[in-house]
Amino acid sequence: MVEKLKAEYQVDEEWRPFYLYFDTPPEGRELPEYIRRKRAQGSEQRLREIASSYGMEFKPTERIYNTHLAHEATEYAREHGNPARFNSPIQRDERGKGNEFHKAVFLKVYAEGRDPSQWDVLRSVAEEVGLDADEMQRDVESEKYKVNVEEQVKWAYQIGVTGVPTYVINDRYAVVGAQPYEVFKQALQQIMNQKG
């Protein structure tokens, strides 16, 4: 869906960290009972339909994972990679392989049922997208990206993000949840009309 929006509206995407469960211990934790009840009522059907529309299987997580390492590894990826694949100088400086890495981790979790707090998962993603897994692990374990990620999460809370996914458009408008393409299309049209 994001790729379709990018093609139709010339928009850019940038994934940013957010902790849905800020206090999750490193080993993760069991799903709360209210999530189990919502699942029993079919709360993930929309996610299954979206995944199916892209030819993917959706595997719901069995635990709440600690995503701190994954977010910090994504910051490493954002700084590294092949900048020649981007056209603008801003993208060269800021993007690296952050989005590519994030998407690959996302697939590991929701298509393969893997735990993003485990180094074997993050290292395999780094190798998959062409990054140096040893350097990534070394930099993340040195806490090089910890403050940066914490500041981004704090910003998300400050602007009112309470759930994932939340799509922030132009730092002003938010679309919350796994919404149909038409919802995003309408939001972008409304923003374009306000500018004109």
Most confident of 14-28, 41-55, 157-171, 179-193: 14-28
Distance spanning both ends of the chain, measured CA to CA: 25
* In CATH, 21-158 is 3.40.640.10: no
- 141: part of which helix (H) or strand (E)? helix 133-141
Question: Is the pTM for the entire model greater than 0.75?
Answer: yes
pLDDT digits (tens, 9 = 90+) for 134-185: 999 999 999 999 999 999 999 888 888 888 888 887 777 778 777 778 888 8
